[in-house]
Every structure is written in structure tokens, then in C-alpha cells.
């Protein structure tokens, strides 16, 4: 892998580093909003005392800490492959460009020695997964890879209850930040009550430290609800999601194309409001992620 000098130096010194994915750049938002958001997320992490490490694959090589020019290229370039665990050896061997999903970013972050990873929302069990078995590889990765993921829960297009059941089966601790309800991505109110509520970055850091010291392998999910002022109206977003799901079914959208299609369609159906909420929740996660990384580096 290739690591930026800034990230390499921070890791050597034991300073806080936060991993970021690249799928959100190449498949999650339109250009130039995707690049602007990526740079703003990096700035938010820096402003809160940590070093950002945006991860992507360039010419078959994992890059830990992409440069602004590389992030710009990821935002503009067409045909960048969306990469999960199964795709990594193919992309490596064929020297392709690849945008890392949550699963692939966790793998690369773990290889680099980065504990904290910030994203918008993780993948999970799609609605009807008990019949289709359409379940994101993100859940498998959370079950076995030693990285803590901070997100606004899971993507709202998914079956939240089924996703949480799978995470429980895989032994993944799910922490809810300052809320007794599971974060619902675009809104704060999923109606799903949470057992493990944490109220400070230090509390999260102590749990991560205990997990690693006791060699309890696997990841951890911190669900960080979107701030109330940026949350969408429940009825508006749920109506858009249902309509987008119906459109995907009618158009025969399958596999890894489903999530990008649904997110893009929801943006269109909400007149861009869902995109703005998405950006705000990612920035909110970046702020928390940096604080947790900072606390973790101090107590280690």
C-alpha cells in the first residue's frame, strides 16, 4: 500500500487518525458536490484534532491518505469500480481504480493500523432480505475486522431491525451516541430502543480499548444520530424511499447497483434535501470520529 507522509507520521507517533471511504465520492454524490464534501469532511476531522486518511485504490494499489488531486480525480473520473472484499484481489491484480465501500475501507484501514473509520451509513440487510438474501458485506466485515465504524446508523433504505439482528448474531457491539433510539440516517427517530447508550467520546474510547485489550476480534458500530436541525421530516423521506424502492424493482436494479440507484433517486424525489441531510450527517460523524480517535490515542 501507499501511505501519505502525514498519515504515516501520525501513526508512528500514536496520534489520532480517522479513515474515510471513497465510494461516497465516486458513487454517492454528483460532481462537484462529492469533492467539496470530501474536502470538508477532512477539514472537520483536522479542526477536531485528528488526521484524515481518505482511502481508495489507484492503479491496483491501496492509497491510505489520498491527496486533494487524487480526491478530485475520484470525483470526476467515470467508471471507477465500487470495491468490496470480494473485488479487492481482482482490482489489485488488474491494476484498476477502485472506490472502497465500508467493508473494503475497513480492510485497508486495519492493514494500515487505523482503528477509527467515519462514514455516512453502513450497509445492511435490504428490505425483503429474508427472501432475497440481499445483505451487505459490510455486516460480515463488522463481524471480523478490528475497526470501529462511526455512522448515522445504517442506510435508511434498509431493514433496520433485521440488520441489527444480524449484527447481534455476529457479536458486533452497537453503541448509540446520546440517544436511546437507533439512528435512522436522515432522521433521529427509528423507534428502535437501544440498550448501549454512550454519552461521550471518552466513553466510546474506553470500550474500544477494552475490546482490543481482551482480544475480542471484530468491529464495532457507533450510531450517531443526525442533529435535529438537519433531520428530514419522517413522512417526506419515508414516502421518497418507498417510491424509490418501487422504481428499483420495476427497473430491475440488482446487487451493488441498488444502493447508488436508491440514493440518487431519493435525492431527485426530495428536491436535493436528502443530499444536504446526508452531507450534514457525515460532517457530524467526522466531528465525533475525530474526538473519539483523540481520546483513544490519549488513553492508550
Active site residues: 21, 155
CB atoms within 10 A of CB 165: 12
Pick from 174, 206, 205: nearest CA to 294: 205
Buried b (16+ CB within 10 A) or exposed e, 96-131: bbbbbbbbbbbbbbbebebbbbbbbbbbbbbbebee
Residue 3, Cβ density class (10 Å: 0-12 exposed, 13-18 middle, ≥19 buried):
middle
| CA distances for 157 relative to 123, 245, 251, angstroms | 9, 8, 17
To 5 degrees, how large is the angle CA 219–CA 224–CA 230? 150
- Rounded distance between C-alpha atoms, residue 18 and residue 299, angstroms: 16
- Rounded distance between C-alpha atoms, residue 49 and residue 37, angstroms: 19
Amino acid at each position: 500500500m501507499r501511505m501519505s507522509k502525514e498519515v504515516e507520521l501520525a501513526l508512528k507517533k500514536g496520534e489520532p487518525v480517522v479513515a474515510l471511504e471513497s465510494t461516497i465520492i465516486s458513487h454517492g454524490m454528483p460532481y462537484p458536490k462529492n469533492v467539496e464534501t470530501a474536502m470538508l469532511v477532512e477539514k472537520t476531522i483536522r479542526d477536531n484534532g485528528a488526521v484524515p486518511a481518505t482511502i481508495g485504490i489507484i492503479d491496483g494499489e491501496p492509497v491510505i491518505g489520498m491527496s486533494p488531486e487524487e480526491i478530485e480525480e475520484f470525483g470526476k473520473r467515470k467508471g471507477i469500480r465500487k470495491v468490496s472484499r470480494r473485488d479487492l484481489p481482482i482490482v489489485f491484480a488488474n491494476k484498476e481504480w477502485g472506490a472502497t465501500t465500508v467493508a473494503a475501507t475497513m480492510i485497508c484501514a486495519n492493514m494500515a493500523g487505523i482503528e477509527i473509520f467515519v462514514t455516512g451509513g453502513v450497509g445492511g440487510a435490504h428490505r425483503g432480505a429474508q427472501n432475497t438474501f440481499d445483505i451487505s458485506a459490510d455486516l460480515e466485515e463488522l463481524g471480523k475486522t478490528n475497526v470501529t465504524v462511526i455512522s448515522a446508523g445504517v442506510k435508511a433504505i434498509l431493514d433496520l431491525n433485521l440488520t441489527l439482528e444480524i449484527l447481534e448474531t455476529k457479536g458486533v457491539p452497537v453503541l448509540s451516541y446520546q440517544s436511546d433510539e437507533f439512528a435512522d440516517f436522515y432522521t433521529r427517530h427509528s423507534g428502535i430502543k437501544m440498550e448501549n447508550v454512550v454519552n461521550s467520546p471518552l466513553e466510546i474510547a474506553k470500550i474500544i480499548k477494552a475490546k482490543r485489550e481482551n482480544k475480542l476480534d471484530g468491529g464495532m458500530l457507533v450510531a450517531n444520530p443526525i442533529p435535529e436541525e438537519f433531520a428530514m421530516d419522517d413522512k417526506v423521506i419515508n414516502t421518497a424511499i418507498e417510491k424509490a424502492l418501487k422504481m428499483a424493482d420495476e427497473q430491475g436494479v440488482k446487487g451493488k447497483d441498488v444502493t447508488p440507484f436508491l440514493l440518487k433517486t431519493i435525492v431527485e424525489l426530495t428536491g436535493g434535501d436528502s443530499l444536504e441531510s446526508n452531507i450534514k450527517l457525515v460532517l457530524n460523524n467526522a466531528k465525533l470520529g475525530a474526538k473519539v480517535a483523540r481520546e483513544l490515542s490519549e488513553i492508550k
